[in-house]
Structures are given as structure tokens and as C-alpha cells.
A and B are shown apart, each in its own frame.
Chain A
Amino acid sequence: MNITIDVKEMEQYTKVKIVGEIDAYTAPKLRETIFPYAEKKNTKIVIDLSEVSYMDSTGLGVFVGLFKSLNANEGTLQLTGLSERLRRLFDITGLADIMNINSEVEGGV
């Protein structure tokens, strides 16, 4: 019932790996950790979700906020390593059509 967030600033993009559960308890920590990176101009953030075992609307809210912030600063967001379950969450909420999501880890990077 916890979360670890690992952020690495690479040459081409900022790489984030999330391990654990994203819910009402952990979402604020996730937001605090990754939002500062989205405020810089032209940032590309790639988030690996392959080890996220649970996520609900609180997590979707964080990614939508991040996506908007990046968009406003001419950056991009890519979510990778989505499990079937996570993918379904983006599908039924309509977010799959709006955001860049991928089942492969680091696909298209």
C-alpha cells in the first residue's frame, strides 16, 4: 500500500518509474514529485507504469493535470508499460483517445 517514484533526468527526456499503488493516499505524493518537472519549457516526460499494481481516478487526475501542465509548456507526456487493467481505465474514461499511452515499456522513445 505504498508507492515509490523514481525520477531520472536524461538527455532527451525525463524518465519516471512508478512502483506500487496509486490511490487517494499516494496520489498527492506523486503529484508533488512529478509536477515540478512539467513546469519547465519543452519537457518530455516518459512514465513507466509497468509496476503499478493498482490505480483509480485519483491517479487519472494526476496524469490529466500533468498532461495539461506539459501541454501548456510545449512539453509532451508518454505513459508506457500499461497493464490490461490500466489500459482499460484509460479506455473507459476516454483518456486513451486524448493521451499518449503505450503497453510497451519505453515504446516509441
Chain B
Amino acid sequence: MMEAFDYIEMKIPAKPEFVGVIRLTLSGVASRMGFTYDAIEDLKIATSEAITNAIQHAYSGDEKGEVVVGFALYNKQLEVMVSDNGKSFNFRETKKALGPYKESSIEFLREGGLGLFLIETLMDEVKVHQNEGVTLFMTKYLEGEQVERDAETIST
């Protein structure tokens, strides 16, 4: 059964200066839904990471691309969709190399690649659809509404 939901969509040029614009909108949407301060901050980081990723991976060197960001507002959860139509990158391969820092040697510390790790850590559910470009679906539940904490990744 499909639950009714409101949907907001924004399309931005694939340029870093617009990531903050989406954050402002997201902040308003999430606070209207009743998310806590911490949950809103988590949402802001995860969504920014997804957009930054779309800009960097999909449109490196080409500034003509666009990123579509959608917010699906359900009663008990917010689903954020971030989609690019640029060149696809292999999400699973990219993800394998990521995770929290464990290295004891400072010279081997990575300077990037924490974005996807943060998305999976800060959101309740993350799904990926890969065809022409990459679309990331990230869900966060309102406090106490979460049924299971299953950050399963599905690549199609």
C-alpha cells in the first residue's frame, strides 16, 4: 500500500555554491516535520555529502550538469533523493574503500572519501539506483518511529 506523501523537488546547477541553498530548504522542511535539532543536522550533512558527491563524481570538469534533489515528506519519515545524470561511478567499489579512520600512521590518512561513510552513518536507510547516472535515496525517521536500523545498499 502506498502511503500518501508531499513531494518537493529542486534542480540546481552542479556547482558547490548551491549545496548551501539546498541545506536551507532541507532545514525548513525537516523542522516543519518535527525533526529534532540533531536529526536536522544529520540530514543536512548527509544531503550535502550526497550533492557534493554528485557534483564531484558525475561532473568533474564539466559545469553544465544539474543535480536534482527531492524531498518526500511522509508522516513518520523524510526521504531525500539526490540524482545526477552525469557519468556513473561505481558506488560499491567507491564504498569499499571507505570507512572511519583506523590507521595509526599519520602519513596514510586519507584526505577525502568520508562522504559516503557519513551518509550511511547519519541516515536510517540508504539505497542506490544506478543507471544513466546515480540516484541516492536516504531516509530518516522521526524519533521513535524507526522500525529497524537497516542501512542496506541495493544497486540495480
Cα–Cα, bound, A42→B146 (Å): 50
Task: Check if B74 is an interface residue, CB within 8 A of chain A.
Answer: no
Is B112's CB within 8 Å of the partner chain A?
yes
Give Cα A1 to B106, complex, Å: 32
Are the CB atoms of A56 and B49 closer together than 8 Å? yes
CB-CB under 8 A from A72, the residues of chain B are 107
Q: Is A85 an interface residue (CB 8 A)?
A: yes
Q: Do B17 and A68 touch across chains, with their CB atoms under 8 A apart? A: no
Name which residue of chain A comes closest to B18, CB basis: A25
Please state if B118 and A1 are interface contacts (CB–CB under 8 Å). no
Report if A95 contacts B (CB, 8 A): yes
- B1-57: which residues lie under 8 A (CB-CB) from chain A? 16-17, 19-21, 23-24, 38, 41, 44-45, 48-49, 51-52, 55-56
Asked if B64 is an interface residue, CB under 8 A from chain A, the answer is no
Tell me whether A21 and B101 are in contact in the complex, defined as CB-CB below 8 angstroms, given that A57-B112, A57-B114 are known contacts: no
CA distance A35 to B138 in the complex (A): 34
**Interface of B: prevailing SS:** helix
Give min CB distance, A107 to chain B, whole Å: 22
* Minimum distance in angstroms from A3 CB to a CB of chain B: 10
| B48 interface neighbour in A23, A60, A94, Cβ under 8 Å | A23
Quick check: is A12 within 8 A (CB to CB) of the other chain?
no
Cα A23 to Cα B56 in complex, Å, equals: 13
* 18 interchain pairs, CB-CB under 8 A: A1-B20, A23-B16, A23-B19, A24-B55, A25-B16, A54-B23, A54-B44, A56-B49, A56-B115, A56-B118, A57-B52, A57-B113, A64-B109, A68-B106, A71-B106, A89-B118, A93-B101, A93-B114
Given pairs A57-B112, A57-B114, 9 additional interface contacts (CB within 8 A): A23-B20, A56-B118, A58-B52, A67-B106, A67-B109, A68-B106, A85-B38, A93-B118, A94-B101
